[in-house]
Structure 1
């Protein structure tokens, strides 16, 4: 019994040492990154620029919640939650629907918590169980759980971004048709965006939100070209990016926006029809898997069973008599 307790205490000491080394490595790495980012902020401040996310808004006090206070408290204690690729991470989060300025730091905090929490949870459950696992098993499963905690948030953001992009692509041809009707009725492009956004708030809420953001930026004084480019950058969909480029070129060259919308709306409807046909053509291939795995053995059994019974009735007596 004493040897078993000594062995368990030895394992716990080794695991505690490994955990301490990992935590110290993470803190040192974060301190190094925070130092570089502080230098970059001072350089940008001296050049008269503000870093991303530092601008205050009139709704800053209203948007502060428990997560925001937690992030501020952690950063005040010296642990920076800013990502090295802040612009790319913020673009990915915006395309996934998380447009808050604190979203990148929330994402980093969640990744850090899952990376350290999954191994700790597994080690705690293993040590409190009746069977004490081996050190190699704890090490490998703890490493796998840490990697899972590191990459699961990325997979979640990617999946959510893909779902949003698919919904926008499916609803954008209807928005183009309504926009064409509004422009041909005499409305300007800003009024058309506003009207179509309000009309599609129930059927296609993501398209309505996208158009509403463009209208708000135009009313705030931003140029049409910059507002359309920002819309394409937020959504990160090829069809929206092409649409923004077409409107910008039509505005610069002075061509008819109605003609541009009519041609692009017909092209988008054709693409949607082709996507539907592609899904329909994939159905036979997808149905062949359950057909071969489930139905084909049953059909073979039904067809071959009478022949098998007849063979048994006629051949076995002959063999037994011979």
Structure 2
């Protein structure tokens, strides 16, 4: 018991426990996401929003094209439920309308002889606009980050698919196996592969890949869907095509990384000019400017070389020739 009273041992013990807990929860995160996708296809797990949620979702009008873009962004971000758009709109509209009602009530109850009602209305409009725009912006950020993670893990998953195909597994079995293997390192990609496998079981693999391409709408996924569809239609071996495509995806990712690196040098030019150049100029020009200031001060002082009184006190040589 005296060992647990030692602060050093207690600190190390708590730190190691926290690290082990974090590793365990991270390992279970991928399995939970895959199970969530599996539960979505069970009839008993589907929950539809009530009339209140649907009414709140329809408070603010949304065009048909805007609704399609919202559903695509939700699927890109990992929200696959058919009612995810309704939940998103209902939550956002509730916040916006709630802020408007609270701001309007506060403006009515405030003193009309002062400028407080106008300030409350301006603040209400600003916060309502932020509540309307910020959730969509956060959704876009989530979808882009998730697409980046999927594109990063796609070449490794394709290599594993190729090994499963050369081992004799069909494409559906290979996708199921790969989804189980990569769920720890690439959980988002594992979820997408599970969705593709489920769609292939319900229909055909080319249609499932087309839905996969339409859902993510990225160049690598579009090319993969086209490649596998053409390979199955022509009857060629999928493993060879997948291997070549994985190499091309890695090459394209390396080229995109080099392109981003080259753009970074140009983007760093403005911070260098506005942040690093002033200190450099101060270090280079500061001492000469101080020396010049001291020189001018001394030169204009008493007996200075630039003081006019110094030359007025000097004797003049106006000696005339003697007669």
Following superposition of structure 1 onto structure 2, how do residues 7-22 of structure 1 map, counting pairs within 5 Å? none
Deviation at 1:231, TM superposition (A): 1.6
Aligned to 1:102: 83
Structure whose CA Rg is larger: 2
Deviation at 1:114, TM superposition (A): 2.3
Following superposition of structure 1 onto structure 2, how do residues 116-127 of structure 1 map, counting pairs within 5 Å? 116-123=97-104
Contact 1:173 1:265 in 2 (8 A): yes
Aligned to 1:89: 70
**CA deviation string 1:212-241 (max 9, x = no partner):** 1222233x3421111111222222322112
C-alpha distance in 1, partners of 2:253/2:97? Answer: 44
Structure 1 residue runs of 5 or longer lacking an equivalent are 1-56
Deviation at 1:250, TM superposition (A): 0.8
Q: Which protein has greater RCO, CA pairs closer than 8 Å, 6+ apart?
A: 2
Cα 1:151–1:186 change in 2 (3 A) is same
Aligned to 1:216, the other structure's residue is in SS state helix
Is 1:291 aligned to 2:286, yes or no? no
C-alpha distance in 1, partners of 2:62/2:268? Answer: 45
Is 1:200 aligned to 2:178, yes or no? no
Cα 1:226–1:78 change in 2 (3 A) is same
Match of 1:74 among 43, 49, 52: 52
Structure 2 residue runs of 5 or longer lacking an equivalent are 1-39, 308-323
Count, aligned residues: 260
Normalised TM-score (structure 1): 0.70
C-alpha distance in 2, partners of 1:76/1:95? Answer: 23
**CA deviation string 1:54-108 (max 9, x = no partner):** xxx87455454xxx6xx41416989857965254433332222111122121122
Match of 2:136 among 154, 174, 181: 154
Contact 2:57 2:87 in 1 (8 A): no
Is 1:185 aligned to 2:163, yes or no? no
Aligned to 2:285: 304
Aligned to 1:250: 231
C-alpha distance in 2, partners of 1:76/1:177? Answer: 44
Normalised TM-score (structure 2): 0.70
